[in-house]
Amino acid sequence: MIPCSYVSAEKFLNGKNSKNVRGKKATKVARITTECIGLFYHDTPVVTWNCNGNTVLRTNNYRSVTTKRRINQAISGSVFQKNHKWYYSKDGNVVPFQEGMWV
């Protein structure tokens, strides 16, 4: 199971600093700071949750199908691709995907 918020990531970690996501190759949840937890695909924190409820998305320009899948498994809304460009959609609003965007 992939967490979808700071609170669920805290529960997933269960006091540890890092934990692999079972059945998801090269995917782990790790504490970045005392107030920030990330979902990592390989070495990239594709989703970062802050304790204040903010979520940040990143790809480090590795825009693969699996990167997009990991992000979508951990957020409300969705990231999709159209004509080789990525977009973020939530509640009918669609915006171009930007590196480091807050959702």
Predicted confidence (pLDDT) per residue in 46-95, tens digit: 999 999 999 999 999 999 999 999 999 999 999 999 999 999 999 999 99
Q: What is the pLDDT of residue 89?
A: 98
Q: What is the pLDDT of residue 80?
A: 98
CB 45 within 8 A of CB 36: no
Work out the burial of residue 1: count CB atoms within 10 Å of its CB; fewer than 13 is exposed, 13-18 middle, 19 or more buried.
Answer: exposed
Distance separating alpha carbons of residues 24 and 33, to the nearest angstrom: 23
Q: pLDDT tens digits for 21-53?
A: 999 999 999 999 999 999 999 999 999 999 999
CB 94 within 8 A of CB 88: yes
